[in-house]
Amino acid sequence: MATKRSRTVVRYRAARRSVRRKAKGFTIPVAAVAGFMPLLGVAHTSFKQGGVELVGHNLVSNLTGYDVPTKTWSFDYMQKGTIPIVAGLLAHKFIGGKLGVNRMLANAGVPLLRV
């Protein structure tokens, strides 16, 4: 009697590929740059009033909150320097990154801009 041979069929699974997103190049984070605009305005007005020395004094006092000549610390100084910078960086991180606004801008083809 003849025996029946069984044929083995080998099936290969397709390799799993991870999703990769291609960076389209240099982009400018608008929210982070906007945080530096009040500080730039302070530097511009203080340069008009007193030159480079006053610019340095005002930038240090607005970034740290400490006024060197009077040796006092005030939270009001930081409202034009540190607080807008931190707010812009946080907006860039959470609105642009976590909510996916930057990805939507990239998929829409908007050049050079991120939130």
Reported as a single tens digit per residue, the pLDDT across 71-80 is 999 999 899 8
How would residue 35 be classed by pLDDT, with cut points 50, 70 and 90? very high
* pTM of the complete model: 0.71
For residues 54 and 56, give the distance between their C-alpha atoms in angstroms, rounded to a whole number.
5
CB-CB contact of 115 with 96 (8 Å) = yes
pLDDT at 65 (0 to 100)? 94
pLDDT at 42 (0 to 100)? 94
pLDDT at 114 (0 to 100)? 84
For residues 50 and 21, give the distance between their C-alpha atoms in angstroms, rounded to a whole number.
49
Q: How many whole angstroms from its chain centre is CA 59?
A: 22
What DSSP letter does each residue of 55-106 carry, written as one string? HHHHHHHHHH-EETTTTEE-HHHHTTTHHHHHHHHHHIIIIIIIS-HHHHHH
pLDDT at 85 over 70: yes
Return the sign of the alpha-carbon dihedral for residues 84, 87, 92, 95. Answer: negative
For residues 34 and 85, give the distance between their C-alpha atoms in angstroms, rounded to a whole number.
8
Per-residue pLDDT of 8-30, as tens digits, reads 887 788 877 776 666 667 888 99
Domain boundaries, the chain: 28-114
* Mean of all residue pLDDT scores within the chain: 87
